[in-house]
Amino acid sequence: MSDAHVHDFVGIGIGPFNLGLAALADPVEGLDGVFLDGRDRFEWHGGMMLDDATLQVPFLADLVTLADPTSRFSFLQFLKETGRLYPFYVRESFYPLRREYDRYCRWVADRLPTLRWGREVTEVAHDGEAYVVRAATGETFRGRRLVLGTGTAPRVPAGLETVLGERGTHSADYLARKAELQATGSITVVGSGQSAAEVYADLLAEQPAGGYALHWVTRSPRFFPMEYTKLTLEMTSPEWSAHFRGLPPETRTRVQAGQAALSKGISSATIDAIHDALYSRSVDGAPDTTLLTATEVTGAAREGDGWRLALRHTETGEAFSLATGSVVLATGYAAQVPAFLDPVRHRIRWDEQGRFLADERFALDDDGTVFVQNGEEHTHGFVAPDLGMGAMRSSVIIAALTGREVYPVEKRTAFQEFGVPDRLKGGVR
Ligand SMILES: Cc1cc2nc3c(=O)[nH]c(=O)nc-3n(C[C@H](O)[C@H](O)[C@H](O)COP(=O)(O)OP(=O)(O)OC[C@H]3O[C@@H](n4cnc5c(N)ncnc54)[C@H](O)[C@@H]3O)c2cc1C
């Protein structure tokens, strides 16, 4: 069934970022957009929806507030309408529970008429007048512009692809596979970020005496904390992102290599809670667990019902191995270029590595007809997947879609300056 109507834009993917765009676009007179997602409804990282897990950003980083504090789609409005504002006020924590954020996004999604669920996009073409977006249902949706919000996909280290399947999973599917993992004699968690720590802590908390052994292996030199100090947090800003985007590509790569602690670390609270749990365990004897840093998993082979992991110590250089009943790869996520873009690749800007080349409008072409949300980390920096930047990016995209600044976009949010200030260029003062 073809939709002859031409929308101003079609949003592909409805994760938090395009959901935020839909919520901010909703009150904009005359802006006609439609959003497609292959899922039946909004779902945020269901595989990691651990009971006590919280967001790693404050509630103000909801879908809309940093762009429009009066929006009817704010987190506070959600709490008010669901009768939970006072308990939130008494709770006195800036950090909502992950489950709560998921419920909040669903609450917003239920109030937006522009969302179309159950539409997996299989192809995007251009008929000379508009983009023609084809869904697996056979429907087509036409739009003068596109906003790509298909998110990131689980990253699997080279050589470990075979682990996925029987007795092995990526953390993205952890909760669905948890009972199965716990039924194996031993579990190895691979990775150094928040997800790895949360999976390890969850399995440690439920580890029965004499039950499964638990191992945590990471290539990182230590279980390092996420940096939360305020002058560092100021880098989650449009001006730092603009500074980063202005650097030569090789400098960006070098700078990014030194920024793991800004987006890939573990919250200090989680690290300390793990040590506290191990300490408490040790009263009854050494906990049945192995924690290894500076250890790279170089391969995996089936052995009996489980796996033998090939390991290399990155400091001593020693090769060794570990037998394990099952494996959880908590090895992060990576941006992907969706295959459905193939027919319109010629309309999109690419860098030398075949990645999107987004500009200051988050546009992928000079005419500003294709935009990206959270596919531009290599050009705009570690802030790309950060929920705290979603409302601002949506504001910039809405300005490009409408030709006017519907939501004011702060040019400066930090006290510090990034790069050489103009007033100091050209001589010593
Ligand atoms: C466990 C976890 C916790 C996180 N916690 C935080 C946090 O606390 N704070 C923070 O700042 N960041 C956090 N992040 C990082 C980031 O904010 C999230 O990854 C966020 O979900 C990214 O949103 P997104 O809109 O880019 O994509 P996603 O949430 O990945 O959504 C993409 C959507 O696109 C749809 N889609 C994909 N392909 C197609 C297609 N072909 N057709 C139709 N639909 C398609 C998918 O179904 C999906 O719904 C977390 C990440 C993870 C994994």
Q: What is the model's pLDDT at position 269?
A: 96
Distance 43 CA to ligand 1 centre (A): 9
pLDDT digits (tens, 9 = 90+) for 133-183: 999 999 999 999 999 999 999 999 999 999 999 999 999 999 999 999 999
Q: Which atom of ligand 1 is nearest to the CA of 338?
A: 41
Q: Which residue has the tokens 């609270």?
A: 269
Nearest-CA residue for atom 53 of ligand 1 = 45
Distance 241 CA to ligand 1 centre (A): 20
pLDDT digits (tens, 9 = 90+) for 11-28: 999 999 999 999 999 999
pLDDT digits (tens, 9 = 90+) for 291-310: 999 999 999 999 999 999 99
pLDDT digits (tens, 9 = 90+) for 232-275: 999 999 999 999 999 999 999 999 999 998 989 999 999 999 99
Binding site membership of 168 for ligand 1 (Cβ less than 6 Å): no
Q: Which atom of ligand 1 is nearest to the CA of 36?
A: 43
Nearest-CA residue for atom 5 of ligand 1 = 55
Q: What is the model's pLDDT at position 3?
A: 62
Task: Give the mean pLDDT of the chain.
Answer: 96
State the total domains in the chain: 2
Pocket test for ligand 1, best of 24, 45, 116, 155 (most atoms within 8 A of CB): 45
- The model's confidence at residue 427, banded by pLDDT at 50, 70 and 90, is low
Q: What is the model's pLDDT at position 2?
A: 56
Q: Whole domain around residue 37: which residue ranges?
A: 2-151+336-402
Cα–Cα distance measured from residue 323 to residue 307, given in angstroms and rounded to the nearest whole number = 6
In degrees rounded to 5, what are phi and psi of residue 175? Answer: -60, -35
Evaluate whether residue 33 is within a structural domain: yes
- Average confidence (pLDDT) over 196-219: 96
Quote the percentage of the chain above a pLDDT of 90: 96
Q: What is the model's pLDDT at position 153?
A: 96
Residues 123 and 44 in one domain: yes
pLDDT digits (tens, 9 = 90+) for 72-116: 999 999 999 999 999 999 999 999 999 999 999 999 999 999 999
Residues 168 and 312 in one domain: yes
Q: Is the pLDDT of residue 403 over 80?
A: yes
Evaluate whether residue 248 is within a structural domain: no
Q: What is the model's pLDDT at position 230?
A: 97
Q: What is the model's pLDDT at position 197?
A: 98
Residues 95 and 66 in one domain: yes
Q: Is the pLDDT of residue 429 over 80?
A: no
Binding site membership of 190 for ligand 1 (Cβ less than 6 Å): no
pLDDT digits (tens, 9 = 90+) for 344-386: 999 999 999 999 999 999 999 999 999 999 999 999 999 999 9
Q: Is the pLDDT of residue 1 over 60?
A: no
Binding site membership of 171 for ligand 1 (Cβ less than 6 Å): no
Which of 276, 303, 329 represents a domain boundary (last residue)? Answer: 329
Q: Are 361 and 147 in contact (CB under 8 A)?
A: no
Residues 386 and 277 in one domain: no
pLDDT digits (tens, 9 = 90+) for 170-185: 999 999 999 999 999 9
Closest CA to 208 of 286, 291, 288, 272: 288
Q: Which atom of ligand 1 is nearest to the CA of 386?
A: 11
Residues 187 and 212 in one domain: yes
- Average confidence (pLDDT) over 328-339: 96
Q: Which atom of ligand 1 is nearest to the CA of 195?
A: 1
Which of 294, 329, 364 represents a domain boundary (last residue)? Answer: 329
Binding site membership of 32 for ligand 1 (Cβ less than 6 Å): no
Distance 16 CA to ligand 1 centre (A): 6
pLDDT digits (tens, 9 = 90+) for 408-417: 999 899 999 9
SS3 assignment for the chain: CEEEEEEEEEEECCCHHHHHHHHHHCCCCCCCEEEEECCCCCCCCHHHCCCCCECCCCHHHCCCCCCCCCCCCCHHHHHHHCCCHHHHHHHCCCCCEHHHHHHHHHHHHCCCCCEEECCCEEEEEECCCCEEEEECCCCEEEEEEEEECCCEEECCCCCCHHHCECCEEEHHHHHHHHHHHHCCCEEEEECCCHHHHHHHHHHHHCCCCCCCEEEEECCCCCCCECCCCHHHHCCCCHHHHHHHHCCCHHHHHHHHHCCHHHHCCECHHHHHHHHHHHHHHHCCCCCCEEEECCEEEEEEEEECCEEEEEEEECCCCCEEEEEECEEEECCCEEECCCHHHHHHHHHCCECCCCCECCCCCCECCCCCCEEECCCCHHHHCCCCCCHHHHHHHHHHHHHHHHCCCCCCCCCCCCCCCCCCCHHHCCCCC
pLDDT digits (tens, 9 = 90+) for 184-198: 999 999 999 999 999
Pocket test for ligand 1, best of 342, 374, 377, 392 (most atoms within 8 A of CB): 374
Residues 38 and 185 in one domain: no
Binding site membership of 372 for ligand 1 (Cβ less than 6 Å): no
Binding site membership of 13 for ligand 1 (Cβ less than 6 Å): yes
Residues 173 and 294 in one domain: yes
Write the CATH number for 379: 3.50.50.60
Binding site membership of 151 for ligand 1 (Cβ less than 6 Å): yes
